[in-house]
Amino acid sequence: MSNLFYQGRGRKPVLDQARGLYMWDTDGKRYLDGSSGAMVCNIGHSDPDVLAAMRRQMEKSTFGYRLHFETEASEKLAARLAGLMPEHLTRVFFVSGGSEAVESGMKMARQHALATGQGSRWKVISRQPSYHGCTLGALAVTGYAALTDPFEPMMRMMPRVPAPRAYLDGLDPDDEATGHHYADMLEQRILEEGPETVLAFILEPVGGASTGALVPPKGYMERIREICDRHGVLLILDEVMTGAGRTGTFLGAEHWDLRPDIVVMSKGLGAGYVPLGAMIVDERLVEPVLDAGGFAHGFTYAGNPLACAAGLAVVDVIENKGLCANAATMGGTLIARLHGLMQKHEIIGDVRGKGLLTAFEFMSDRDAKTPLPRELNAYQRFVDIAYQRGLIVYSRRTHDGYSGDHILVCPPLIATEDHLDEIIDGLDASLDQFAAEIAP
């Protein structure tokens, strides 16, 4: 019996070592990490340059409280991140994870509103389905009923608009009219709520676990920006999963030349080496808040020198190894190979993604877009089958009436064609086994 507990009772194998895309448990079994943990380990496991940078920092200092010291590592990482953002995003605030980053984004938006005489604005509109974190503030904008329902009385739930799931609604994602159709739902919602009460809109550029790598339809992002501008609503881009190269560019926003007011990122920035997150903000938002007395927010471990030194080394690896470009190229190959699997396996109803944030979704009838029966728990069962075979993939069931099961396939950005071959072979065999199990 272990003293640990997480979500359930089951105990997992004990991790021994991890290198590159591979992980070994203490029984010596090898696993291929086809999901970068939870889309975290973007540069692979145990990168020697990152480990060396961490060792160097540890020899110097491992903690300096932000109210007492700046550190060289946090200043350098802030400058580096600002250089990788659209040029108006210059001010960086460090945290230790994605939920903390989301909380920070919403609180920055609110304090900017207060500092600029817009105190009536407090609502943060988000999408259904979506995932923005598990702290109560981040949950209040998360569209994921199973996670939010138990805590509703403890939160002020925020308004939602539908995420643009064109593939389910039978709309063409390459037609601008589709993007406008979904984006206009945001404008309608802002008008219903009263624009003077709406503070911000938060979205994931490419959906993560909530929607299974859902890519917005053409015209959506541009229209969203226009709508936010028209109504004085701030745009918070949740790049916790998409940031640090995952979709083939350093930020997902780059695919649409999108100019968010606030970006939040985490997972791939610490890349599994350290808990690290960041909020990067338009200078025009920060200055009034500082003038009005400062940003009333902050976490003890924020800007930790060890975390920032590791983050800086991670960004170096991403740049030096050309991992954004590799994610774009390998992502294209992976999507094509998943389409190949879709031709062979009828239970795959959709394949989608950008860069190495890719997914497929199970359906019992592709044309009718019918999900597999809920009681099959396909998402869990399939992940277990693959895991037994030594392939790690990630999964969730979309919660909001539609019970689609999707499987995320998101290897580290250092993946090669050989790794993709191994992933596809593992998926193919797992799909055969799963289809045989559920055959009538």
**In the bound complex, what is the minimum distance in angstroms from residue 96's beta carbon to ligand PLP?**
8
State yes or no: cis peptide before 129, omega within 30 of 0.
yes
Report the b/e string of 107-122 with b at 16+ CB within 10 A. bbbbbbbbbbeeeebb
Which 109-128 positions form the footprint of ligand PLP (CB under 6 A)? none
The string of DSSP codes covering 190-222 is HHHH-GGGEEEEEE-SS--TTTTSPPPPTTHHH
Report the b/e string of 281-297 with b at 16+ CB within 10 A. bbeebbeebeeeeebeb
Of 102, 234, 274, 359, the residue at the interface with ligand PLP (CB under 6 A) is 102
Of 131, 144, 182, 379, the residue at the interface with ligand PLP (CB under 6 A) is 131
**In the bound complex, what is the minimum distance in angstroms from residue 102's beta carbon to ligand PLP?**
5
Stretch that binds ligand PLP, among 117-125, 174-182, 202-210, 252-260 (CB under 6 A): 202-210
Residues 207 and 352: beta-carbon distance below 8 Å: no
Stretch that binds ligand PLP, among 27-35, 73-81, 189-197, 237-245 (CB under 6 A): 237-245
Which 263-292 positions form the footprint of ligand PLP (CB under 6 A)? 266
Distances (CA, A) of 394 to 23, 177, 356, 361: 15, 32, 13, 12
**In the bound complex, what is the minimum distance in angstroms from residue 39's beta carbon to ligand PLP?**
7
**In the bound complex, what is the minimum distance in angstroms from residue 144's beta carbon to ligand PLP?**
11
Of 90, 99, 104, 358, the residue at the interface with ligand PLP (CB under 6 A) is 99
Residues 123 and 159: beta-carbon distance below 8 Å: yes
Measure CA 259 to chain center. Answer: 18
Which residue matches tokens 């995320």?
A: 408
Question: 7: which DSSP letter?
Answer: S
Q: 47: number of CA atoms within 13 Å, CB side?
A: 26
Of 37, 44, 98, 219, the residue at the interface with ligand PLP (CB under 6 A) is 98
Backbone angles phi, psi at 297, to 5 degrees: -175, 155
Shorter beta-carbon distance to ligand PLP: residue 238 or 400: 238
211 scored as a contact of ligand PLP (CB under 6 A): no
97 scored as a contact of ligand PLP (CB under 6 A): yes
212 scored as a contact of ligand PLP (CB under 6 A): no
Distances (CA, A) of 382 to 220, 242, 437: 32, 24, 10
303 scored as a contact of ligand PLP (CB under 6 A): no
44 scored as a contact of ligand PLP (CB under 6 A): no
201 scored as a contact of ligand PLP (CB under 6 A): no
Site string for ligand PLP, 2-41 (x = CB under 6 A): ------------------------------------x---
What's the order of all strands across the beta sheet hosting 394-397?
348-354, 357-362, 405-409, 394-397
**In the bound complex, what is the minimum distance in angstroms from residue 318's beta carbon to ligand PLP?**
19
Backbone angles phi, psi at 395, to 5 degrees: -150, 155
Of 41, 203, 241, 407, the residue at the interface with ligand PLP (CB under 6 A) is 241
Of 34, 129, 133, 353, the residue at the interface with ligand PLP (CB under 6 A) is 133
Q: Which two tokens stand for residue 138?
A: 């981040």
**In the bound complex, what is the minimum distance in angstroms from residue 432's beta carbon to ligand PLP?**
30
371 scored as a contact of ligand PLP (CB under 6 A): no
Stretch that binds ligand PLP, among 45-53, 83-91, 97-105, 164-172 (CB under 6 A): 97-105
Of 238, 261, 400, 422, the residue at the interface with ligand PLP (CB under 6 A) is 238
How much is the CA Rg of the chain, to the nearest whole Å? Answer: 21
Which residue matches tokens 């030594």?
A: 390
Distance CA 349, CA 358 (A): 14
**In the bound complex, what is the minimum distance in angstroms from residue 238's beta carbon to ligand PLP?**
5
**In the bound complex, what is the minimum distance in angstroms from residue 130's beta carbon to ligand PLP?**
8
Q: List residues near ligand PLP by CB under 6 A.
A: 38, 97-99, 102, 131-133, 204, 208-209, 238, 240-241, 266
